[in-house]
Structure 1
Amino acid sequence: MSTSRFGAGGGSGSNSRPSSKDGPKKNMWSSMLDSVANGKRLPEKNLLILGGTPESQREFLNTFSADTTGSGFKNDKRKGGAPPVANQFALGYTYLDVLDADHEDTLARVSAYLLSEPSLSFAPLLKPLLTPQSVPETLVVILLDWSDPWTWVRRLREWVRLLRHVLVSLDDPTKIVMEETMTEWRDRKRGMDSGAAGAQGLASSGGPVSIPLGPGEWDEGLGVPLCVVCQGADKIEKVEKEHGWREEEFDFILQFLRTLLLKHGASLIYTTPFLANSLQSLLHSSLGIHSLLKRQSLKHNVIDRDKILVPANWDSWGKIRIIREGFDMEGISTAWSIEIQDPPEPLPKGPVSYPRDDQQDPSMDDGTSAVTIFEQTIKDPKRDTSLAVASQQNKDNIEVETTGLQSFLEKQLEVLEQLKAEDEQDRSTRPAPQLEMSPMDDSGRVNEHIGPVQFNMGGIQVDADDMLRKLKEREATRTSQRKETISSPGDEKAHNQALKNFFAGLVKKPSTSPRESPST
């Protein structure tokens, strides 16, 4: 039956061109192909990475795309290496493919947009990234670093100001989608484990219920999910040793950040390079990326100071308050809501100069400012002006400013070189000391003290002084003869005659051998 229908439809055979009667069949195949293509199309997610340096941004991307399975296996898709990262100027870009646990299936493609400075001039670059289609699939990540924790709240404030400036300028359809996205985040608690969310979202009767918001929660929703990543947690010990920080300072920073992020419904995590952490699980959960083979759990951690993890919708004022008593969450929360209304200000390139007690920060309202409160407690060690101001006002203080070891040694070397030069100049101008009497000139006195010097040579006792005198006499004789020879080179005959007489005398000298007898 199928053959006859195919022949009727095809006319002259299988190689013939389809007629107009095949229109519905062609449309059916097109729809089937489109449905297959849509099924193979990768889910597209967006990461908007704000803050950090080009190096720290690359470090974040490496941590996000690292292989956490521990198998070390990489498929053909990763043999070509990671895609290039263009983040040196203005708005950077790269992309990442999120692979499943077996590295065979690609779960999603993440487009990462990177920006380092919270300047209003970059706002037109961020606006096209937020559309009704992209907002539900977008996560904003703000990078901070443990190399300068005293700047965190100021940096966070400027980035929130820039985001608010961009979001307010969007069109109405995008704002509607943003409101729906925030409602979904707030009600469904997507930042938590599904089991925990289900346990809190179901009443005893089994039906869904709405959980009322606590104080300070979701007061300032930004319209897009937010995650703050504090990189370089391995530097905590260095900060503690070099700056003398105690647990009070670290608890204060944690309480401050959690209070601010609670207002935006944001998550918080501390990361350490080259060490396993929950960054991937947190970002995948925030972007709605779920593995088909392995269920990744996301558990909070507020105990280990270098592995802090606070998922979205988990925190509350009650949990923040128990860290350390005396923390004013109400005042900080109110001050933050006031400060973020202003447009962003340029971040200082160097250390921040803190106002004195008799000066007022321009950003303060009614005498309070969240940034000022934070920076007065967590001070930049390089610009701690409190001691400097006190030393200027009080001349009788006991503080002594010391120099570095190398500087001290350089100054001492200069002093030693100067003293050496003065000594040499003294020796050159001072006359040489004259001795009243040299011991060698008065041999009589010496002989009186030490007596004659004698030694044994081949069994014969020899007087050293007598031998020295004879050697000197012979040397003097040779010298005089040499001078005579040089002074009268023409008198060769007399010289030869003297030598002849000398040798003739030696020959004629009578023998004293005991073998000779008087008779011979």
Structure 2
Amino acid sequence: MSSSPHGSKAAGTNSRPTSKDGSKKNIWSSLLDSVANGKRLPEKNLLVLGGTPESQREFLESFSADASDGSGLVNEKRKATGKTPPIANQFALGYTYRDVLDADQEDTLARVSAYLLSEPSLSFAPLLKPLLTPQSVPETLVVILMDWSDPWTWIRRLREWVRLLRTVLVSLDDETKIVMEETMTEWRDRKRGLDANSAAAGGLSTSGGQVTIPLGPGEWDEGLGVPMCVVCQGADKIEKLEKEHGWHEEQFDFILQFLRTILLKHGASLIYTTPFLANSLQSLIHSSLGIHSLLKRQSLKHNVIDRDKILVPANWDSWGKIRIIREGFDMEGVSTAWSIEIQDPPEPIDQPPESDNGPGEDGTSAVRVFEQTIHDPKRDTTIAHPNSNSNGTKIEIETSDIQAFLSSQVEVLEKLKAEDEKDRANQATPQLEMSPMDDEGKVNEHIGPVQFNMGGIQVDADDMLKKLRDREASRTQKKESPVPNTGDEKAHNQALANFFAGLVKKGGASPRGSPSA
């Protein structure tokens, strides 16, 4: 029985693999690797540039919002369970991450690492360079944050960010640059509807021939190597600019045409957002990063009608669509000037427009053209009315936010309270043995004038006392004087005596008809 082939087969099956049996080890390794790869989350990167720490947080909350209910609010369930990672963005290059959940809020589609930078300083270029590698470039999206609180600074800020990005991208190694070129080709061609095979061949096959889809004027002639999206936050402030500062549709159309003309050159997308209102920001970011739901297909549709809900996806715009917004806009001039300006290294953003004396700032600068049309309303008021009118009063008063004002007043009240307590503690004990009449002046200030009614006449006691004192002093002076009294003085004294005598008789109520004394 032991020599039967069946027995030998069973024995061979139950035996463990030896060191010489490498085939079974390779099978186990491949199985483990496949399981590990299946559980590994797709890694995506967001490079968030611009904004303040607060506006960056607002962007991340909008990006992480649970859009399943259509409210656009932050996922309260995730916040309540404490699963929201902290955001470190107070100094230099910040970082946080977000897990993108599917429509059922159960399955995780990807993990997005967000790197945050507020200032386009050239000194931060070494921090950005390690983030762009051959592996990360295809999975990276650059987001530039703007805010409607200062739209007159947008083009200058955008120029400095593009300059910084170009400085970083030029310094990358050749392998990364090749991947960047492939990424831009994929965005430029396949995103236009070409499949992978036709995109590789350079055209779309129709009726057995190759048809190349040409790019329109001003499209993709300044590709950066990474996809880019510009997010203009706080679109609810548009109404304030219109009501309080007299802006009209011409200004808003000019801003939109300027932005779209520039972003068309980089193949970038554009979106206006409003806090706590539903918008397409999440769909736009997911689409740009290649994150797609397994349960629900999200549509991304352009919107160029609602001025506070603008959405221009990548590869959708063209000069023809920009031109119809308003006639007279010089797209050719803006496009050409922009290509010249972005060649220089970045400059400080807070540099005033009047000090622009560098190349391209002689009137042909795109930034200068924009800032000559879109002014800071407060700066215009200061120039026209230097803080006062003919009466010396201020023309305009800046008001702070209500909550900020109340917070500052709490600090002021606490400070005043502490000072009062300190004064009461240092106040000397009053001397009770001191007579209150020692300081007649202070007492009189508190008592006030003393008046009484005499014979129907209201008499001021203080005034009468003063007159009596003056009269007594006058008499004393006359007695001491060698000059004799004149007849006029005697007559005056006699008249006074007769007057007071008449008052006494009137008060005596003598019988009618009785002779006077």
TM-score by length of 1: 0.70
Matches within 5 A, 1:54-453: 54-70=53-69, 79-189=81-191, 205=207, 209-348=211-350, 353-355=352-354, 361-364=357-360, 367-384=363-380, 387-388=383-384, 402-403=393-394, 432=463, 444=506
> How far did residue 432 of structure 1 move?
3.9
Alpha-carbon deviations, 1:419-454, whole Å to 9, x = none? xxxxx9xx99xx948699899955717979xx9xxx
For the Cα contact (< 8 Å) 2:100–2:109, is it kept in 1?
yes
Q: 1:4 and 1:447 mapped to 2: Cα distance?
A: 160
Q: 2:247 and 2:28 mapped to 1: Cα distance?
A: 69
Measured on the aligned residues, the alpha-carbon RMSD in Å equals: 3.8
> How far did residue 273 of structure 1 move?
1.1
Distance 1:362 1:74, change over 3 A: closer
Distance 1:444 1:383, change over 3 A: same
> How far did residue 109 of structure 1 move?
0.7
Q: 1:249 and 1:400 mapped to 2: Cα distance?
A: 33
Distance 1:325 1:404, change over 3 A: closer
1:325 aligned counterpart, secondary structure: coil
> How far did residue 104 of structure 1 move?
1.7
1:96 aligned counterpart, secondary structure: strand
Q: 2:245 and 2:272 mapped to 1: Cα distance?
A: 20
For the Cα contact (< 8 Å) 1:225–1:265, is it kept in 2?
yes
Residue 8 in structure 1 maps to residue 7 in structure 2: no
Residue 20 of structure 1: aligned partner = 19
> Which amino acid letter does the alignment assign opposite residue 380 of structure 1?
D
Which sections of structure 2, spanning at least 5 residues, go unmatched? 399-444, 450-461, 469-495, 513-517
Q: 2:237 and 2:155 mapped to 1: Cα distance?
A: 18
> Which amino acid letter does the alignment assign opposite residue 374 of structure 1?
F
> How far did residue 24 of structure 1 move?
1.2
Distance 1:406 1:34, change over 3 A: closer
Alpha-carbon deviations, 1:381-426, whole Å to 9, x = none? 23228844x989xxxxx9887426999xxxxxxxxxxxxxxxx9xx
Q: 1:26 and 1:146 mapped to 2: Cα distance?
A: 62
Distance 1:76 1:155, change over 3 A: closer
> Which amino acid letter does the alignment assign opposite residue 184 of structure 1?
E
For the Cα contact (< 8 Å) 1:120–1:162, is it kept in 2?
yes
Equivalent residues, number: 408
1:20 aligned counterpart, secondary structure: coil
2:183 aligned counterpart, secondary structure: helix
Q: 2:80 and 2:35 mapped to 1: Cα distance?
A: 25
Q: 1:74 and 1:50 mapped to 2: Cα distance?
A: 26
For the Cα contact (< 8 Å) 2:17–2:24, is it kept in 1?
no
> How far did residue 30 of structure 1 move?
1.1
> Which amino acid letter does the alignment assign opposite residue 52 of structure 1?
G
For the Cα contact (< 8 Å) 2:70–2:278, is it kept in 1?
no
For the Cα contact (< 8 Å) 1:51–1:142, is it kept in 2?
yes
Distance 1:362 1:406, change over 3 A: closer
> Which amino acid letter does the alignment assign opposite residue 32 of structure 1?
L
> How far did residue 26 of structure 1 move?
2.0
For the Cα contact (< 8 Å) 1:361–1:372, is it kept in 2?
no
> How far did residue 217 of structure 1 move?
0.7
Q: 1:208 and 1:232 mapped to 2: Cα distance?
A: 46
Distance 1:152 1:206, change over 3 A: farther
Residue 487 of structure 1: aligned partner = none
Distance 1:383 1:77, change over 3 A: closer
> Which amino acid letter does the alignment assign opposite residue 8 of structure 1?
G
Q: 2:508 and 2:181 mapped to 1: Cα distance?
A: 117
> How far did residue 32 of structure 1 move?
1.4
Residue 419 of structure 2: aligned partner = none
Which sections of structure 1, spanning at least 5 residues, go unmatched? 12-16, 393-397, 408-423, 452-520
Q: 1:304 and 1:243 mapped to 2: Cα distance?
A: 21
Residue 470 of structure 1: aligned partner = none
Residue 459 of structure 2: aligned partner = none
Distance 1:206 1:136, change over 3 A: farther
Distance 1:210 1:291, change over 3 A: farther
> Which amino acid letter does the alignment assign opposite residue 230 of structure 1?
C
1:256 aligned counterpart, secondary structure: helix
Residue 515 of structure 1: aligned partner = none
Q: 2:368 and 2:500 mapped to 1: Cα distance?
A: 86
Alpha-carbon deviations, 1:56-115, whole Å to 9, x = none? 001000000000001998888983320111111111111111111111211111111000
TM-score by length of 2: 0.71
> Which amino acid letter does the alignment assign opposite residue 136 of structure 2?
S
